[in-house]
Structure 1
């Protein structure tokens, strides 16, 4: 299961970790209160984090497709 690693990282089901600045994740959560927003990492194995209603809800993985974020650490 995909998880959010406090304060600003995410781990996909495939084992890939995406690291972002805390302010970036905070801004994405604020922007996502009324609409879905996307945040992608810049690595070759590009993963995209989807935010909605103020929280990260899923990761789009190039290997496994859509992975729901079910846990936060």
Structure 2
């Protein structure tokens, strides 16, 4: 795509700007779609981490309870 500077070949410069604008808008839409996909993926990963943290916390509490019961029986 050739660039036309002000004072260049009349309508051709405007067409290049229109093409450039359309290309930029398409790229912007593509980037927005990719960003949305990444945000969704990030949220899913955060959910997985939260679930694993809850499970680990539950296991720790269970082990602590077992230790307390064993000590109480001794």
The TM-score range, normalised by the shorter chain, is: under 0.3
The two structures have a TM-score, normalised by structure 2, of 0.20
More helix per residue: 1 or 2? 2
Specify which structure has the bigger relative contact order, considering alpha-carbon pairs within 8 angstroms and separated by 6 or more residues. Answer: 1
Say which one has the larger Rg.
Answer: 2
The two structures have a TM-score, normalised by structure 1, of 0.20
More strand per residue: 1 or 2? 1
